[in-house]
């Protein structure tokens, strides 16, 4: 038998013996967690995201986990923003939020934040529409 094959077989046997003896401790996967938000302007005024709506650039998309750790990003010309947690450090639930571009006059249609539990789809959509115009104040 070749020495290389013998070494591999010996390592496999030792690993199997360690698992059977209960000395193996699995480690959590240290992976990055990504959350995606997409912002649209309700172009046709029907109150729901559809193919006629325009992607919204410059909205602030953010994610914050149960410890208050977070990350944020501005949406691009395609309306997409991404927030991430490096090295598996995310703790659920995670709250995803969106804010309109400053000075845009847009308001969120529906919820401004969504709470995700472990296993939920990490991608959400937000819809914006023109907000009410500020009323002029009259002083006597």
DSSP label of 80:
E
| Domains of the chain from N-terminus onward | 33-130 (2.60.40.10)
Query: In this predicted model, what pLDDT tens digit does every residue of 106-138 receive, in sequence order?
Result: 999 988 899 999 889 999 999 999 987 544 444
CA-based nearest residue to 119, from 89, 94, 82, 85? 94
Q: Band of the pLDDT at 90, cuts 50, 70, 90?
A: confident
Provide the pLDDT for residue 87: 74
Provide the pLDDT for residue 33: 85
CA-based nearest residue to 93, from 61, 74, 68, 73? 68
CA-based nearest residue to 77, from 40, 119, 24, 125? 40
Please check the confidence at residue 60 and state whether its pLDDT lies above 90.
yes
CA–CA dist 86, 65 (Å, integer):
13
Provide the pLDDT for residue 74: 96
The first and second tokens of residue 76, run together, are 């691009």
Question: Between 46 and 11, whose confidence is greater?
Answer: 46
Question: Between 8 and 9, whose confidence is greater?
Answer: 9
Report H helices in 21-134. Answer: none
Report H helices in the chain. Answer: 3-20
The first and second tokens of residue 32, run together, are 């990055």
Provide the pLDDT for residue 95: 95
């Amino acid at each position: 038998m070749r020495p290389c094959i013998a070494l591999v077989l010996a390592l496999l046997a030792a690993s199997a013996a360690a698992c059977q003896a209960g000395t193996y401790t699995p480690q959590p996967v240290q992976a990055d967690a990504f959350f995606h938000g997409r912002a649209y302007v309700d172009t046709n005024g029907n109150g729901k995201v559809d193919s006629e709506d325009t992607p919204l650039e410059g909205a602030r998309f953010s994610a914050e986990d149960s410890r208050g750790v977070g990350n944020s990003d501005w949406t691009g010309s395609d309306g997409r923003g991404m927030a991430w947690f490096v090295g598996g450090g995310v703790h659920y639930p995670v709250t995803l939020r969106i804010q309109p571009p400053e000075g845009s006059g847009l308001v969120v249609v529906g919820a401004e934040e969504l709470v995700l539990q472990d296993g939920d789809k990490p991608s959400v959509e937000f819809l914006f529409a023109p907000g009410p115009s500020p009323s002029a104040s009259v002083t006597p």
